[in-house]
């Protein structure tokens, strides 16, 4: 998996140091989970949903209000994205909703 927080994806010119992204954080020594959390926070700050990579809806609604959010053995998943058992597909119900949002019916 590419570490989005690292500047390695930047094209380097000979003799010049790598430019650092404004939101660059040195994650040396961090756990995989902590790096993933940082990427999620950076996505949300950029207006992108961490799981679907769609733009955020911007209405104040969160994934828990969406009909596509499902709880499976204590873990929340978005059925439009993935229902695998992998941690990487876990949904945080407090995340702001993406543009695929559909109101949950009672």
Q: Give the interface with ligand SF4 as residue ranges (CB under 6 A).
A: 49, 51-52, 63, 66, 68-69, 78, 80, 97-98, 100-101
Nearer to ligand SF4 (CB atom), residue 24 or residue 81: 81
Nearer to ligand SF4 (CB atom), residue 4 or residue 64: 64
Minimum distance from residue 8 beta carbon to ligand SF4 (Å): 28
Alpha carbon of 25 to those of 14, 49, 64, 77, 80: distances in Å? 24, 20, 29, 28, 31
CA terminus-to-terminus distance, the chain: 38
- Residue 44: count other Cβ atoms within 10 Å of its Cβ: 15
Nearer to ligand SF4 (CB atom), residue 48 or residue 100: 100
């Amino acid at each position: 998996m590419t570490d989005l927080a690292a500047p390695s994806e930047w094209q380097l010119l000979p003799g010049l140091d790598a430019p650092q992204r404004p939101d660059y954080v040195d994650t040396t020594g961090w756990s995989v989970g902590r790096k993933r959390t940082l990427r999620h926070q950076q996505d949300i700050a950029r207006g992108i949903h961490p799981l679907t990579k769609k733009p955020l809806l911007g209405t104040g609604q969160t994934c828990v209000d969406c009909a596509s959010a499902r709880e499976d053995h204590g873990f929340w998943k978005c059925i439009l994205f993935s229902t695998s058992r992998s941690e990487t597909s876990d949904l945080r119900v407090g995340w702001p909703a993406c543009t695929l949002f559909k109101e949950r019916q009672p």
